Amino acid sequence: MYLTVEEAADYLSLSESDIQKLIQQGKVRTVFDGEQYLLNKEQFNTHFEQLEKYKKQVEEILNEPLPEDIDVKDED
């Protein structure tokens, strides 16, 4: 499925100017149909999969208990 620049901006939660910059930098694959650029929606699946992976890693790190400090003296 192909998206217009406007639809891609909505889908990725970016501005249209950001999408245009990505196109000019060659960071996204596009097809020009003579009037507008079209972006294949499937190319962003890897991006979203990596985001989910990083979110899980951050969550695991934040939920990991802090180790006891060896230098802490018991005040009992």
pTM: 0.63
List CB contacts of 39: < 8 A, sequence separation 6 or more: 2, 3, 4, 5, 8, 19, 23, 28, 29, 30, 31
Spacing of C-alpha 47 from chain mean position = 5
**pLDDT, tens only, 9-35:** 999 889 999 999 999 999 899 999 999
DSSP H or E stretch at residue 18 = helix 16-24
Please tell me the predicted confidence (pLDDT) of residue 67.
Answer: 77
Within 13 Å and on the Cβ side, how many CA atoms surround 69? Answer: 4
Query: If you search the block for the tokens 């962003």, which residue do you land on?
Result: 44
- Domain 2-62 -> CATH class: alpha beta
